[in-house]
Structure 1
Amino acid sequence: MMAAGIPPRASAEEKHLVLLRDGRTLIGYLRSIDQFANLVFHQTVERIHVGKKFGDIPRGIFIVRGENVVLLGEIDVDKPCDTVLQQVSIEEILEEQRLQQQAKQETEKVKMQALKDRGLSIPKADNLDEY
C-alpha cells in the first residue's frame, strides 16, 4: 500500500535533498508531494556548506512551497562519498557563513565603487529576488 502523496517509486524511508531558490539546502524524508510540487519533509536538517566544512541545523517537519524548489533528488546512502567534507558544530558553520557573506559584501562594495569611479551607476537590487 502506498502512503498518501508519495510517488510509487519513492520509498518513505529514503532521504531526499532539495535545493531551494534562495540557495538553502534541505535534507530529510519526503512525506508528501502534490500537483504544485509542494513538499512535506520530516526529520529535516538544513545543511550549510562553507568551503570544505558543513553543518546541519535540525528543522523538524518542513513544508516547502513548490515555486521555491530548484532541485529535488534522492540521496543514495549506500554510495561512498567522493568528496572529503568536515562536519562542524552549528555555531561554527554559522560563524563561517557570516564571515563568507561579509567578505562577499565587501567585494561587492569595491566593485560598485570601481564602477562609480568610472561614471557608471547600477541601481541596488536589495529588494529583488535573487535567482
Structure 2
Amino acid sequence: MENLTLNETPLGSQSQTPQPNAVLPGAPPQGPPQLPPQMFTTAAQLLDLTDKKLLLVLRDGRKIFGILRSWDQFANLVLTDTRERYFVTTPSSSDDAQPQPRNLYCDIPRGTYLVRGENVLILGEVDLDRDDEAPPGYEEGDVEEVFRIQRAQEMERKRKDKGKLRKVAELWGGEMEGSGEVLF
C-alpha cells in the first residue's frame, strides 16, 4: 500500500493537472480538487437536515418522526413535534372463512425528543408532499387497538426468546453469559 500526500498521485495513474482559475483567468491555478460533500461521514452532514422533518429508525426498532432542531458532534439529535409510529399485522374481524390479515399503523405524539447518536440506525428526510398519505399497504388504525396488538406481539416475541435461551442453555450446559433481554 502506498503512502501518498495530497500533492502526489498513485503509481500508474495519470497525473492530474491543476484546474485553471475560472474566476480570475490570470491568477495561479487552484489547489487539488475538493471532495464532494457526499464523501463526509461526520455529524456535519446533519447541517443540511436542520429544521427538516426526518424519520429515524432506532436500534430498538422504534420509528420516530420529528423536526430536527439541533445536533452535536456525536450526532446526538434534538427533535420537536415527534410522533412514534407503530406498525402491526392482525387478522381482520370479518366473518369470512379465511380472514385476511390487516396491516395497521398509528402515530403517537411524543413531544420533544433527545436521541443519542449511537442509537440511530437509519435517518432519512420525509417527503412533505406524501407525508399525509398512509404507508403503502397499511391503513390507519385506532391508537389503543394498534398499541394493544403491538404489546401482545412484543410479549409473544419475548416469550419465544426465553424459550430459545432455555433450550440453548440446556444444550450448552448452564446459563449463557449476558442472557438478559435481547436489545436490537
TM-score, normalised by the number of residues in structure 1? 0.75
Displacement, 1:112? 4.5
The one-character-per-residue Cα deviations of 1:7-64 (angstroms, maximum 9, x if unpaired) are 1x3362x320011122111001111122110101111001111222111111111111
Matched, 1:23 2:66: no
Question: Which residue of structure 2 lines up, in the alignment, with residue 108 of structure 1?
Answer: 161
SS of the residue 1:22 aligns to = coil
Matched, 1:70 2:109: no
Displacement, 1:114? 4.9
Decide whether the 8 Å contact of 2:77 with 2:117 is kept in 1: yes
> Once the two structures are aligned, what percentage of the paired residues are identical?
37
Matched, 1:46 2:84: yes
Q: CA RMSD in A?
A: 2.6
What one-letter code is carried by the residue in structure 1 that aligns with 2:140? Q
Count of residues paired in the alignment: 122
SS of the residue 2:161 aligns to = helix
What one-letter code is carried by the residue in structure 2 that aligns with 1:92? E
Question: Which residue of structure 2 lines up, in the alignment, with residue 92 of structure 1?
Answer: 145
Q: Which structure's relative contact order is higher, taking Cα pairs within 8 Å and 6+ residues apart?
A: 1
Higher share of residues assigned strand:
1
Matched, 1:10 2:49: yes
Q: Quick check: 86-95 or 56-65, which moved more?
A: 86-95
Q: 1:81 to 1:54 in 2, by over 3 A?
A: closer
Matched, 1:32 2:85: no
What one-letter code is carried by the residue in structure 2 that aligns with 1:10? L
Structure 2: gaps spanning 5 or more residues: 1-45, 90-102
What one-letter code is carried by the residue in structure 1 that aligns with 2:148? E
Structure 1: gaps spanning 5 or more residues: 1-5
